């Protein structure tokens, strides 16, 4: 039996507490060995068998640590990942992988030179809604997909005080908070787009960050047909738009609401060990999306609607992929190159917005 991959999570704020520590702890083959929490005793109370330290240096110096998870504020991601790689550790970086595509490329080069795994935490690839959107076209139920509209909306009309996420900074803002997830999903579904048109802006009365964006990605499919994929987010949406709307030549799929994992964790739930009999975490039937089809496309007014069972989302699968990649058993499901491409698209989105112009997409350096 292989020794466990001893893991240190840097930071026990929202990301470290909700999205990383519980899933590292739940994946066989990984060991939640160290949590870096500079102040407070929450981590020790939540994980009494895990050693809690007060500085990242202790984690970097520990020769028994194999994997470092960077779950700190965005502006520190690149420095801490670089130091972890230089210390001979594998690295997971919470999104965004970096503040610029050039910085992401530097980390990828360093990881390659060190022979270490570098993985961006694009956990929304393991959301049940996204997995369902990926499944339906593969089954042919929608026909040829022509348009996807993806929303991730919030209602935070008042700027929050005392949080780094609301502080001015080149790596902060809604675009770099939720944008990596939305564009990564588009890339995972359809590959590289031909062009990008974007609006990145501030909608609240008082804000230090961009708090809304619209990104339109235009694709040319292998069959020559076009496809449009839209990514939208705002902090001024008391009534959120559907999470997904997918339109195809045979019908449409509409899904409201978010994958239930985050809400469950915020409510005190914790994922069971992967492989156990306990389920994690099927969506309730009331939240399933709706599939609308024309039984006969020649009679488009005669529509049939049905609920579609959502795929079961599972963020544990992200860390299982990291484990397998470190062991050399399988490639990463979400590679460092995926992180680079997402950041490159966000850079182009800013340029498109600033220039009020559609830009060709080029991932070349």
pLDDT digits (tens, 9 = 90+) for 128-167: 999 999 999 999 999 999 999 999 999 999 999 989 999 9
Rounded Cα distance, 149 and 187, in Å: 14
Q: What is the pLDDT of residue 2?
A: 81
Query: Is pLDDT above 70 for 1?
Result: no
Q: What is the pLDDT of residue 365?
A: 66
Rounded Cα distance, 285 and 204, in Å: 35
Same fold? 5-123+317-331, 124-313+346-359: no
Q: 165 is written with which tokens?
A: 């996420």
Q: What is the pLDDT of residue 295?
A: 82
120: nearest Cα among 328, 344, 270: 344
303, β-bridge pairs? 294
345: nearest Cα among 181, 134, 222: 181
Rounded Cα distance, 227 and 294, in Å: 21
> pTM of this prediction?
0.97
What is the per-residue pLDDT across 320-362, written as a single tens digit (0 to 9) for each?
Answer: 999 999 999 999 999 999 999 999 999 999 999 999 999 999 9
What is the per-residue pLDDT across 66-109, written as a single tens digit (0 to 9) for each?
Answer: 999 999 999 999 999 999 999 999 999 999 999 999 999 999 99
What is the per-residue pLDDT across 180-209, written as a single tens digit (0 to 9) for each?
Answer: 999 999 999 999 999 999 999 999 999 999
Q: What is the mean pLDDT of residues 20-48?
A: 97
Query: Is pLDDT above 70 for 270?
Result: yes
- Return the percent helix, strand and coil in the chain, to nearest 5: 35, 25, 40
The secondary structure of 191-257 as a DSSP string is -S-SEEEEEEE--SSS-SS--EEEEEEEEE-TTS-EEEEEEEEESB-SSPPPSEEEEESSEEEEE-S
Q: What is the mean pLDDT of residues 299-320?
A: 95
274: nearest Cα among 88, 69, 9, 28: 28
362: nearest Cα among 234, 188, 197, 193: 193
Cβ neighbour number for residue 82 with a 10 Å cutoff: 17
172: nearest Cα among 361, 354, 355, 346: 346
SS3 assignment, position 360: strand
Helix-helix angle 101-114:77-86, to 10 degrees = 10
Query: Are 148 and 189 a contacting pair, CB within 8 Å?
Result: yes
Identify the CATH homologous superfamily for domain 124-313+346-359. Dihydrodipicolinate Reductase; domain 2 (3.30.360.10)
Q: What is the pLDDT of residue 364?
A: 81
What is the per-residue pLDDT across 116-134, written as a single tens digit (0 to 9) for each?
Answer: 999 999 999 999 999 999 9
What is the per-residue pLDDT across 208-237, written as a single tens digit (0 to 9) for each?
Answer: 999 999 999 999 999 999 999 999 999 999
Q: Is 183 exposed, middle or buried (0-12, 13-18, 19+ CB in 10 A)?
A: buried
92, β-bridge pairs? 69, 119
Identify the CATH homologous superfamily for domain 5-123+317-331. NAD(P)-binding Rossmann-like Domain (3.40.50.720)
Domain ranges of the chain: 5-123+317-331, 124-313+346-359
Q: What is the pLDDT of residue 231?
A: 98
Sole residue written with tokens 């944008």: 179
Q: What is the pLDDT of residue 299?
A: 87
Cβ neighbour number for residue 360 with a 10 Å cutoff: 9
Q: 150 is written with which tokens?
A: 């993806």
Cβ neighbour number for residue 108 with a 10 Å cutoff: 18
Q: 194 is written with which tokens?
A: 């031909």
């Amino acid at each position: 039996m292989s020794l466990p991959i001893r893991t240190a999570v840097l930071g026990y704020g929202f990301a470290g507490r909700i999205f990383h520590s519980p899933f590292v702890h739940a994946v066989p083959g990984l060991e939640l060995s160290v949590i870096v929490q500079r102040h407070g005793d929450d981590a020790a109370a939540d994980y009494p068998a895990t050693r809690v330290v007060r500085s990242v240096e202790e984690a970097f110096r520990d020769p028994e640590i194999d994997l470092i998870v960077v779950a700190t504020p965005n502006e520190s991601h690149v420095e801490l990942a670089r130091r972890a790689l230089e210390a001979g550790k594998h690295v997971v970086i919470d999104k965004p992988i970096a503040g610029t595509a050039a910085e992401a490329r530097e980390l990828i080069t360093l990881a390659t030179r060190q022979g270490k795994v570098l993985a961006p935490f694009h956990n929304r690839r393991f959301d049940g809604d996204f997995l369902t959107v990926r499944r339906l076209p593969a089954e042919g139920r929608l026909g040829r997909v022509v348009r996807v509209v993806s929303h991730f909306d919030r209602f935070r009309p008042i700027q929050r005080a005392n949080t780094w996420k609301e502080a001015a900074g080149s790596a902060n803002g809604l675009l770099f908070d939720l944008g990596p997830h939305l564009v990564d999903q588009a890339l995972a579904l359809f590959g590289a787009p031909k062009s990008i048109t974007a609006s990145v802006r501030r909608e609240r009365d008082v804000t230090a960050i961009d708090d809304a964006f619209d990104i339109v990605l235009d694709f040319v499919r292998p069959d020559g047909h076009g496809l449009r994929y839209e990514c939208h987010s705002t902090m001024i949406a008391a009534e959120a738009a559907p999470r997904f709307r997918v339109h195809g030549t045979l019908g449409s799929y509409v899904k409201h609401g978010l994958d239930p994992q985050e809400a469950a964790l915020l409510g005190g739930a914790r994922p069971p060990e992967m492989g156990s009999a306990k389920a994690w975490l099927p969506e309730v039937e009331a939240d399933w999306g709706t599939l609308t089809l024309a039984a006969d496309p020649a009679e488009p007014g005669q529509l049939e609607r049905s609920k579609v069972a959502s795929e079961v989302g599972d963020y544990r699968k992200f860390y299982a992929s990291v484990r397998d990649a470190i062991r050399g058993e399988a490639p990463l499901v979400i590679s460092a190159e995926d992180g680079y491409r997402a950041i490159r698209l966000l850079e182009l989105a800013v340029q498109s917005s600033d220039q009020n112009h559609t830009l060709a997409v080029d991932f070349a350096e």
